[in-house]
Amino acid sequence: MSDEVKFDWHRQDRTGIPEVVFAEGKTVGQIVSILDGAAERNRSLLITRLSPELCHVVRQQVEAGFDYDEMSRTAIFGAPERSSADPAQIGSVGIVCAGSSDLAVAREAQRSLDYFGVHNALHADVGVAGLWRLLDIADDLKQHSVLIAVAGMEGALFSVVAGLVPGLVIAVPTSVGYGVATGGQAALTSALASCAPGIVCVNIDNGFGAAAAARKVLLNGAIG
Amino acid sequence: MSDEVKFDWHRQDRTGIPEVVFAEGKTVGQIVSILDGAAERNRSLLITRLSPELCHVVRQQVEAGFDYDEMSRTAIFGAPERSSADPAQIGSVGIVCAGSSDLAVAREAQRSLDYFGVHNALHADVGVAGLWRLLDIADDLKQHSVLIAVAGMEGALFSVVAGLVPGLVIAVPTSVGYGVATGGQAALTSALASCAPGIVCVNIDNGFGAAAAARKVLLNGAIG
Amino acid sequence: MSDEVKFDWHRQDRTGIPEVVFAEGKTVGQIVSILDGAAERNRSLLITRLSPELCHVVRQQVEAGFDYDEMSRTAIFGAPERSSADPAQIGSVGIVCAGSSDLAVAREAQRSLDYFGVHNALHADVGVAGLWRLLDIADDLKQHSVLIAVAGMEGALFSVVAGLVPGLVIAVPTSVGYGVATGGQAALTSALASCAPGIVCVNIDNGFGAAAAARKVLLNGAIG
Amino acid sequence: MSDEVKFDWHRQDRTGIPEVVFAEGKTVGQIVSILDGAAERNRSLLITRLSPELCHVVRQQVEAGFDYDEMSRTAIFGAPERSSADPAQIGSVGIVCAGSSDLAVAREAQRSLDYFGVHNALHADVGVAGLWRLLDIADDLKQHSVLIAVAGMEGALFSVVAGLVPGLVIAVPTSVGYGVATGGQAALTSALASCAPGIVCVNIDNGFGAAAAARKVLLNGAIG
Amino acid sequence: MSDEVKFDWHRQDRTGIPEVVFAEGKTVGQIVSILDGAAERNRSLLITRLSPELCHVVRQQVEAGFDYDEMSRTAIFGAPERSSADPAQIGSVGIVCAGSSDLAVAREAQRSLDYFGVHNALHADVGVAGLWRLLDIADDLKQHSVLIAVAGMEGALFSVVAGLVPGLVIAVPTSVGYGVATGGQAALTSALASCAPGIVCVNIDNGFGAAAAARKVLLNGAIG
Amino acid sequence: MSDEVKFDWHRQDRTGIPEVVFAEGKTVGQIVSILDGAAERNRSLLITRLSPELCHVVRQQVEAGFDYDEMSRTAIFGAPERSSADPAQIGSVGIVCAGSSDLAVAREAQRSLDYFGVHNALHADVGVAGLWRLLDIADDLKQHSVLIAVAGMEGALFSVVAGLVPGLVIAVPTSVGYGVATGGQAALTSALASCAPGIVCVNIDNGFGAAAAARKVLLNGAIG
Amino acid sequence: MSDEVKFDWHRQDRTGIPEVVFAEGKTVGQIVSILDGAAERNRSLLITRLSPELCHVVRQQVEAGFDYDEMSRTAIFGAPERSSADPAQIGSVGIVCAGSSDLAVAREAQRSLDYFGVHNALHADVGVAGLWRLLDIADDLKQHSVLIAVAGMEGALFSVVAGLVPGLVIAVPTSVGYGVATGGQAALTSALASCAPGIVCVNIDNGFGAAAAARKVLLNGAIG
Amino acid sequence: MSDEVKFDWHRQDRTGIPEVVFAEGKTVGQIVSILDGAAERNRSLLITRLSPELCHVVRQQVEAGFDYDEMSRTAIFGAPERSSADPAQIGSVGIVCAGSSDLAVAREAQRSLDYFGVHNALHADVGVAGLWRLLDIADDLKQHSVLIAVAGMEGALFSVVAGLVPGLVIAVPTSVGYGVATGGQAALTSALASCAPGIVCVNIDNGFGAAAAARKVLLNGAIG
C-alpha cells in the first residue's frame, strides 16, 4: 500500500463506523492500493462517489469483484459488514425522498445502510407540493426509529416530516435545483432553520453521512 | 411642499396603485410636507414603516389626525381609498402567517388591503410543524382568490399552502430568524425555489408589496 | 409506471395547475414512464427543460409523437389543455423580454401559456437602454391583465414596466450575464428590491412558473 | 388565550417533543397568554431566548413562579417534564464546549435536557488548541450515547470529538467569533464539511434543538 | 501634528484632487491635528462623514470656524478651493437622486463639487417608478458633461439615465433599502451589470468619490 | 431582420455611443440578421465576446468581410467609426494591465477604442509586485486624459495608479484568479473600496464598457 | 478558579506562545478567575479585546494592578514576558499601517510584541494612495525580519510592501471600511489573492495573531 | 521576448524570492518567451499550474529540457536555485496533508521548496478524524522550524497542528470538498478563524505561496 494513503483500519473499533473510501479526487492507484489492503486483511469496504468511468478502470486492476450501483455511484467490496447487534431489536430507518432527481443521494444512503446491515425502507417522490403522497405513508414512517429525508430545491419536506413523526429526522439537502437553489444552499438553510424541533442536518448530497449517523442512533452509542 | 420630494400623485391613474409613503429613512420634514400636500388635494394616504417615535413627532406637526397601528407600523391618513370595483365581485384575500413573530408583517399586508378596500381574513400562527393547524383551515383558504403567506425561518409554509389551494400564493418572507435564517434569506430562497407551481414572491418583510400585488390580481389589470 | 415516480395526476383538480414534467435530472426511464402513464390516462402533458439530446432519446421510446420547441426546450405531449373558462373573458398575458439572449426563458413562459390555452403576446428585445422600444409598445402592454417581464443583467426592465401598466408584473430574472450578473443574482435582487409596487418575482429562469402564476391570476382563484 | 397564538399542545403526543416557547420576537402579551394556557391545562413549559428584561416584565404578569437561568436565557415553568422511559436505561448525553464564550449556548442545551429529564454532563472550555484538555476526558465522553459539541470560531472541536467517540455527535455552531467567524458561519461549515462520519448539525446557537434531537436519539423513535 | 497622521498635502499637485478628511473612525485628536495643520499652511479642507456629535466636539477645539451641513455630514474648512480652469468652459455636473432617502449621499456629492468649484444642479426624487419625473428633466440632463446618479433599492435609475444622455454617468449606489437591498448590494450590482454602455460606478454611499471623479472628467486629465 | 432583435440604430445620436453586438448568448441567426441590417444601412459595427467558433460560422453566412481579433474576441465590421471631434484635441487613453493573463480584457478595451477612433497606448504586465515596472512609465501615464487599469487577482494596481496620475482611472477587474479571487470578486472590491479618490469601476471583464466610458470622458458630454 | 474555564497554562511550553485572554464574550467573573489564577502562579498575562467599560469593572475586583491601553483595548498584567532568546539576535518586526483608522489594530499587534519582548517599530498612515510615504521608509522596512502590514478598505498596501522587502509580510486586514469594504472582506481577499509571493494572512482585526506568528518566525521554531 | 510580458528578473534581489511563472491563463507563446529569456540569462525557473497538455506543447518549442511533475503540475527549468545560506543551519519545513485528495497541493509546496533548496519532509493523509495518525508523528513535526498544513473539507487539521508544535504553521486550504466545502471556503475560514495562535494562511490551493513564505521565515528577512 503506497505511502500516500494511511487508511484508518481501526476506525470502527474506535467510533463504530468503519472508514469508507470517498473516491472523488483519488487516483486509480490510490483506490486500488486501498482495495488491495482490504483483500490482504480480509475486510469488506464501501466505496462512495465512484463514477462509472473510474469504476470500470478500477475493476480491471483488482482481482476480487465488487457490487457496483450506478445510480448511487457506490461499490461494496466483499460481504456487507454485519453488526453484532440484532437488527430486529435496534430498529429501522425510513428514507423519504422529495423528487425523482434526488434519488441518487437517497440511494447512497440506502446502500450505506445495506452495507451496515441496517433494515430500511425507501419512499421516493413524496414532495410536499402533493401533500397526500406524504400523508398516505405517515403511519409507516412513524414505525421507524430514524427518518432520513432527502430533498433539493426548497427543502420543505424536512419540516413537514419532522412535524409528523416521533423519530429523529436527519435532513440531507441535495444539490438538485436551479437559480437560488443551485448547489443545494436553499435546501440546506431550510433544514437548519426549520422550526420543527428534532431535525439534524448533514452536508449537501451526503447520503453516506446520514446513514452513518442513523447507524449510531440505532446502536445508541454502543460500538456495533 | 419642499423640492426634495416629488410625490407621484398620478400613480394610481397609471398603475392602479396609489403611491404610498415609505417612512423609513425620510425626515420628519419630508413626511409632513407630503401629508400637507395630501390635505391640500383632499387625498387619503397610507404610510408604512412609521416607527412609534417618528409617528409621535409627525402627529404634532400635522393638523389632521390619522389612524396609527403600532404592530404593523402603518398609518392611514384620511378615509381609506375606495375601489370603484364592487368588493363582493372581485374576490377576497386570505392571509396566513407562520409564527406569532411574523405577525407585524402580516398586519402590514392586512392594513394595506384594508386601505385599498379589499376584503381579507388573517389566520395567525399556522406553521407547518403543526400541520393540523393548516389543514383545519384549508377549506376556508380555498375560497380566496389570492393567498398571502407570511413566514420567516425556513419558510416551508409557502410550498405547503401552494399545494393545497387554487388561488395565487404571494409569499412574503420575513426577517424573523437567527443563524442561517438571519435577515430572512432562508425563507426567501424557500419561496423562490419552491417546487409547487403558482407561487410568486416579494422582498423580505414587504407586506405592503404583497397587498399591492394582490389588489392588482383582484382587479385583473383594470384600474380600480 | 416505476416506483420511483409518484406523478400527481390530481394536482389540477386541487390547485388549478396540472403537474408538469421538469426533465432536468430525470432519467430517460423516468420520463418515458410518466409519458406512458399519460397515454394510458389519455392525458396531455407539458415537459420543460428537455434538452435536444434527451428529447431525441425519449422520442425513440414512446409511441405517440409530441411537439418539441428547441429554443425553449419544451415539449407538449397530446393536445394542449383547454381551460373551461372562456379565454376572451379572462384576459390575456403580455410578455416582454429585455435582450435577445433572454428569449429562451421568455419562450418557455409563452409555450406554457399556449399549453394552458391562455392568450398571450411576446415582445422581444425591449431593454431599457433604448427606452423608446418600450414606450412604443406601452399602450399595447396596458391591455393585458398580467405582464411577464423577462430580463437578465441588471433587470431594470422590471421597475420601468411596473411604473407604466396597471396589470400585475411577474418578473422572471434570467441567468444571462457575466461578472456580478453571473447566474442571475443581479436581476433577481432588482426584481425583489424594486420600488415600483405591484411586482412579484419567481426563481431565476423559471418561465414556466411565471406562466403558471399568470394563469392563476386570470382564473382569479377559480379552478380552470 | 389570544387569537394570535395557536399553541401546539399536542406536539409531544405526535413527535415526542413538547412544543416550547421561543421568546425572541414575541410580545409580552403573547408569552403571558401561553403561560396562562399552560397553567389552565396544568402543563409545564420550557421558554428559550428569554432576555432578563423580558423575563422581569413577564414575571410581574403571571401568577405562578418559574425557574429562570440568566446565562442560558431559559425559563422552566412548572415541574420539568418526566419521560415515561427510565433515564438509567435510555443512556445519557455528554456536552462539550470549546470556549468559555460558548457556555451560554451549551447551557441552553443542558437546561433543555434537564427539562426533558435526560441525564447529562457538561465539560466546558475544552477547545482543540489545547488537545490534552479533550484527551483527558475522552474515556468519560465514550460513556455517553450522544455527544453535543458546542463551538464557535473555526469549530475544529466537532471533527476531533467525532473521531474519538462511538456516540452520535450533534454539532452546535455558535455565533462566537469575529472577522470571518462573525455570526457562526465558519463553525457551521466546519460541522457540515467534517470528514469524520457520524456528525450531524443544527442551526447556529440552537442549543435547544440539539437537546431535542438528543432526546429523540435516546428514545430511539419511541414517544417518551 | 501628531505622528499618527501623515497628511498628503501634495496630493492635489500629483493627482488633481486634494486629499480630504474621512472622519469616520478617526479620533477627535486626529481630526483636530489635521485642521491645525491646514490652518498653519493656510489651506482649505473638506471633511466627509463627520457626524453632528463629532462636529460639535471638534468645533470646540479648533479656533477657525467651518461650514457644516448636517444632511450630508460634510464640513468645509476655509474657502472652497478654486480651480484654475474656467468653470464655464469645463462644463457642469448634473446630479439625479432616486428617492428622498438617497438625498444625504447626493448632497455629499453636491457639497464636494461645491468645494471643488464645479457648477452643478441636483434633481431629487426622480425614481423610475414614475418615469415622467425623469423624462420631464431629460433635456436639462443632456446639457451636463457628467451625470451623477444616486440610487438605493434596485438602482434601475442608472440604466434609464444612461440610455437618455450623452454624458458619462457615474452611479452611486446607496445603502438605502431593506431585505435583499440591505446595505446597497442590489443597487451596486445593478450599476455594474447595466447593459447601457457608458456607466461607471463607485462604492456604496461614496458621494465624494463620484464628485472627485466628475471633477477629473471635467478637467480631462489636466491638473486643475 | 428577424422580430427577435430590435437593434438600437439610433443609440449613438442619443448617447454618443453606438450600440454594439454582445455575441455571447446570441444565436448565429440573430448575429447574421444584425450584420445584414448594418450592411443595408451602410453602417459599421463592433462585435464583442465573439468566440472563434462562432466567428467561423458567422463568416460563412455574411457576404462582407470583417476584421477579427482572437485574443480579444472582437470583430469590427466595416470601417471603424470616425468621431467628428479631432482626436488630437480631445486627448488620449492609456491602458495598463497587471498580468499577461489580463491581456484579453485589455485588448477588448483597446480594440473598442480603435473602433471609436480614440488614440490609445497599452502597457502590459505592470503589476505592483514589481513596482519599478509601473514607476518607469509613470511620466507617460500622466500624459493621458483617462487611464484604463485592467487587473485580476487582488487588483492593487487600481489604487497605485490612481495615486500617481491626474487623469480619471477606470478600473476593469478581470476574472483572472483562483481561490478567493475566483471570478474577479477580489479585484472588483479592491476597485470599489480603493482609498485613492478618482477611481471609477465597470463590471468584471468589461473592457468594452471601460472604452465606452473613456470615450464619453474625452468628448466631455458632447455627442461625438 | 471556576469550572467554566480551563486555562492552558502550559501552552507556552508546548507551542512557544503563552495563552492569552480574549476578553470579548467572557463574563467579568471568568476574567477575574483567570487573573486570580495568574496571581497565584506568579504569572504575567496579556488580555486582548478588553473594552474600557469591562476594564473598569475588572480593575475593581482584582488586587494587583495592570497596564491598560485604551486604543488597542489590551491589558498587560504583571511584567511582560521575557524571551530566553536575545532580542538583538533574533531580529525585529516592522509594523506598517494604512490609515489612521487602522491604528487600533496595529497597536494591538505592537502591544502584543511588547509583551513578548520583541523589538518593533510602527509606521502609521502610509497608505498607497500616497506612495511616497511608503517609499520614504522602504530602506527602514528592509531591516526587519518580519513586516506586519495592517490595512482596511481595499488593502493594496499588502502587495506593495511585499514587492519591496525581503522579510515575511503578515497581512492583517481590518474591518475599517464601508460599502463593499464593510467588515474587512475586501482587504482580506486582497491579502489572500495578492500576486506578490511571501505574504501570509491572519483573520480580520487579529493584531495579536500577527504578533504571535511574528514571534514564531523570529524564534524560528525554537521555544522562546 | 514579446512586449506582452515584462518578467521581473530582479525580484530575488529585492525580495529574496525569484519570480516564478504561473502558467494558468498564459498562452504557449508567452511561456516560451519567458523560458527563452531564462535560457539567454542562464537562469533557472519554476513554473506552476502547468497542465500536462500545455506542458507537452511547450516542451516541443523550447530547446532545453525541464523536469515536470504531473501530480503537482510544476516544472523546474535548469538547476534548482541554491540559497547562499547553509540549509543545515537555517532549519527545515514539515508538510502535513489531511487527505490523499490534497496531495497535489502539498506536492506543489514540496516541489517549490525543493527548487528553493530548502530541506523538507511530507506526511500525507494525517487528517484529524484519525487523530492517532497525527499524534504518531508529533515529535517529528516539532523538529521543523515551519509547518505547512494542507487541508480541504473542514480544515480542522490547522488548529490541531498549531496546538502541538512550536513552529509557525502556514495553512493552505484546498479546494477539495463538496457541498458547503466547495471551492475551499470552509477550510479557508477554519484557518483564519482558528483559536490556536501562530497560524497564518495563504490563498486556497496556493502551495507555492506557502513555500515562498516558509523560505522567508527560514532566511529570517535576509536575502538568501
The reply to whether D197 touches chain A by the CB within 8 Å rule is yes
* Range in B23-32, B164-173, E80-89 with the lowest mean pLDDT: E80-89
For H130, the closest of A8, A30, A203 (CB atoms) is A8
H170 vs G contacts (CB less than 8 Å): 200
CB contact (8 A) between residue B191 and residue A154: yes
Please report where in the chains the cell 484519525 appears, as a residue.
H130
For C166, the closest of B15, B168, B197 (CB atoms) is B15
The CA distance from G157 to E127, in Å, is: 39
Q: Amino acid identity, residue H90? A: I
H217 vs G contacts (CB less than 8 Å): 168, 217, 220
| Residues A153-202 pLDDT 10s | 999 999 999 989 999 999 999 999 999 999 999 999 999 999 888 899 99
Q: Once rounded to an integer, what is the mean pLDDT over residues D21-50?
A: 91
F103 vs H contacts (CB less than 8 Å): 4
Question: Chains touching chain C at 3 or more Cβ pairs under 8 angstroms?
Answer: A, B, E, F
> What burial class does residue D178 get, using C-beta atoms within 10 Å of its C-beta: 0-12 exposed, 13-18 middle, 19+ buried?
buried
Counting CB pairs under 8 A, whether chains B and G reach 3 or more, is no
pTM greater than 0.90: yes
CB contact (8 A) between residue C11 and residue A181: no
C55 closest CA partner among C33, C31, C82:
C31
Cell of C101: 439572449
Under 8 Å between Cβ of H201 and G202 = yes
Please report where in the chains the cell 486627448 appears, as a residue.
F91
Q: Is the pLDDT of residue D149 over 90?
A: yes
For E179, the closest of B4, B26, B204 (CB atoms) is B204
Mean predicted lDDT score pLDDT of chain G: 89
Mean predicted lDDT score pLDDT of chain A: 89
Q: Amino acid identity, residue G23? A: A
- In what order do the strands lie in the sheet containing H74-77? H21-22, H45-48, H74-77, H66-69
CB contact (8 A) between residue G8 and residue D176: no
Q: How many CB atoms lie within 10 A of CB H130?
A: 23
| Residues A77-121 pLDDT 10s | 987 766 555 656 789 999 999 988 899 999 999 999 999 999 999
Please report where in the chains the cell 457626524 appears, as a residue.
E51
Question: Chains touching chain E at 3 or more Cβ pairs under 8 angstroms?
Answer: B, C, F, G
Cell of A44: 469488506
Per-residue model confidence (pLDDT) at position F9: 76
The reply to whether B179 touches chain D by the CB within 8 Å rule is yes
Per-residue model confidence (pLDDT) at position D87: 58
Q: Is the pLDDT of residue B3 over 80?
A: no
D204 vs H contacts (CB less than 8 Å): none
Per-residue model confidence (pLDDT) at position D201: 98
Q: How many Å lie between the alpha carbon of G18 and the closest alpha carbon of chain H?
A: 9
Under 8 Å between Cβ of H197 and G208 = yes
Per-residue model confidence (pLDDT) at position A1: 41
E188 vs F contacts (CB less than 8 Å): 192
B129 vs A contacts (CB less than 8 Å): 159, 162-163, 194-197
Per-residue model confidence (pLDDT) at position B1: 41
C190 vs E contacts (CB less than 8 Å): 154-156, 186, 189-190
Please state the separation of Cα C54 from the chain's center in Å: 20
Per-residue model confidence (pLDDT) at position G9: 76
Q: Once rounded to an integer, what is the mean pLDDT over residues A122-145?
A: 90
For F163, the closest of G130, G194, G196 (CB atoms) is G130
Please report where in the chains the cell 434633481 appears, as a residue.
E123
Q: How many CB atoms lie within 10 A of CB G70?
A: 12
For A179, the closest of C6, C8, C184 (CB atoms) is C184
Q: Is the pLDDT of residue F2 over 60?
A: no
| Residues G67-101 pLDDT 10s | 999 999 999 998 776 655 565 677 999 999 998 88
The CA distance from F49 to E114, in Å, is: 41
For E130, the closest of B3, B11, B25 (CB atoms) is B11
Where are the domains positioned within chain E?
11-77, 87-219
CA dihedral A155, A157, A159, A165 (to 10 degrees): -150
Per-residue model confidence (pLDDT) at position A64: 79
CB contact (8 A) between residue F124 and residue H3: yes
In chain E, the residue whose alpha carbon lies closest to the alpha carbon of G103 is E4
CB contact (8 A) between residue D5 and residue B124: yes
Percent of chain E with pLDDT over 90: 63
> What burial class does residue C119 get, using C-beta atoms within 10 Å of its C-beta: 0-12 exposed, 13-18 middle, 19+ buried?
middle
The reply to whether D94 touches chain A by the CB within 8 Å rule is no
Please state the separation of Cα A148 from the chain's center in Å: 9
SS (H, E, C) B47-105: EECCCHHHHHHHHHHCCCCEEEECCCCEEEECCCCCCCCCHHHHCCEEEEECCHHHHHH
The CA distance from B50 to B68, in Å, is: 9
CB contact (8 A) between residue E175 and residue G176: no
In chain H, the residue whose alpha carbon lies closest to the alpha carbon of F179 is H204
Question: Chains touching chain G at 3 or more Cβ pairs under 8 angstroms?
Answer: D, E, F, H
| pLDDT bracket for residue G43 (50, 70, 90) | confident
The CA distance from B76 to B58, in Å, is: 13
In chain A, the residue whose alpha carbon lies closest to the alpha carbon of C14 is A130
Mean predicted lDDT score pLDDT of chain C: 89
The CA distance from F49 to D120, in Å, is: 63
Instruction: Write out the E strands in H10-144.
Output: 21-22, 45-48, 66-69, 74-77, 93-97, 120-123
Q: Which residues pair with F123 in a beta bridge?
A: F96
Per-residue model confidence (pLDDT) at position A104: 95
Mean predicted lDDT score pLDDT of chain B: 89
Could you give the 3-state DSSP secondary structure of residue E25?
A: coil
For chain B, the maximum distance between any two Cα atoms, rounded to a whole number of angstroms, is 55
Per-residue model confidence (pLDDT) at position C88: 62
The reply to whether D151 touches chain A by the CB within 8 Å rule is no
In chain F, the residue whose alpha carbon lies closest to the alpha carbon of E199 is F213
Q: Is the pLDDT of residue C219 over 50?
A: yes
For H182, the closest of A6, A26, A183 (CB atoms) is A183
Q: How many CB atoms lie within 10 A of CB H53?
A: 8
F130 vs G contacts (CB less than 8 Å): 163
Under 8 Å between Cβ of B45 and B34 = yes
CB contact (8 A) between residue E130 and residue B8: yes
The reply to whether E57 touches chain C by the CB within 8 Å rule is no
Q: How many Å lie between the alpha carbon of B136 and the closest alpha carbon of chain E?
A: 32
Q: Once rounded to an integer, what is the mean pLDDT over residues F183-190?
A: 96
H56 closest CA partner among H33, H37, H75, H36:
H75
The reply to whether E129 touches chain C by the CB within 8 Å rule is yes
CB contact (8 A) between residue B6 and residue E181: no
Cell of C148: 411577464
Q: How many Å lie between the alpha carbon of F6 and the closest alpha carbon of chain G?
A: 36
Which CATH class name applies to F87-219?
Answer: alpha beta
Count of residues in chain G: 224
CB contact (8 A) between residue C170 and residue B200: yes
E177 vs C contacts (CB less than 8 Å): 193
The CA distance from F109 to F20, in Å, is: 13
Q: Rg of chain A over CA atoms, in angstroms?
A: 18
The CA distance from A221 to B18, in Å, is: 63
For D204, the closest of B125, B133, B179 (CB atoms) is B179
The reply to whether B115 touches chain C by the CB within 8 Å rule is no
The reply to whether G75 touches chain E by the CB within 8 Å rule is no
C98 vs F contacts (CB less than 8 Å): none
Per-residue model confidence (pLDDT) at position C37: 87
Q: Is the pLDDT of residue D148 over 60?
A: yes
| Bridging pattern class, strands C93-97 and C120-123 | parallel
Q: How many Å lie between the alpha carbon of C208 and the closest alpha carbon of chain B?
A: 8
For chain F, the maximum distance between any two Cα atoms, rounded to a whole number of angstroms, is 55
| Residues F12-38 pLDDT 10s | 777 777 778 999 989 899 999 999 988
The reply to whether E153 touches chain C by the CB within 8 Å rule is yes
Please state the separation of Cα B212 from the chain's center in Å: 7
SS (H, E, C) chain G: CCCCCCCCCCHHHHHCCCCCEECCCCCHHHHHHHHHHHHHHCCCEEEECCCHHHHHHHHHHCCCCCEEECCCCEEEECCCCCCCCCHHHHCCEEEEECCHHHHHHHHHHHHHHHHHCCCEEEECCCCHHHHHHHHCCHHHHCCCCEEEEEECCCCCHHHHHHCCCCCEEEEEECCCCCHHHHHHHHHHHHHHHCCCCCEEECCCCCHHHHHHHHHHHHHCCCCC
| Residues D162-201 pLDDT 10s | 989 999 999 999 999 999 999 999 999 999 999 888 899 9
The reply to whether E134 touches chain B by the CB within 8 Å rule is no
Question: Chains touching chain D at 3 or more Cβ pairs under 8 angstroms?
Answer: A, B, G, H
Mean predicted lDDT score pLDDT of chain D: 89
| Bridging pattern class, strands H93-97 and H66-69 | unpaired
The reply to whether C155 touches chain B by the CB within 8 Å rule is no
Q: Is the pLDDT of residue E52 over 70?
A: yes
The CATH number assigned to the domain with range H11-77 reads 3.30.1370
Q: Is the pLDDT of residue F61 over 70?
A: yes
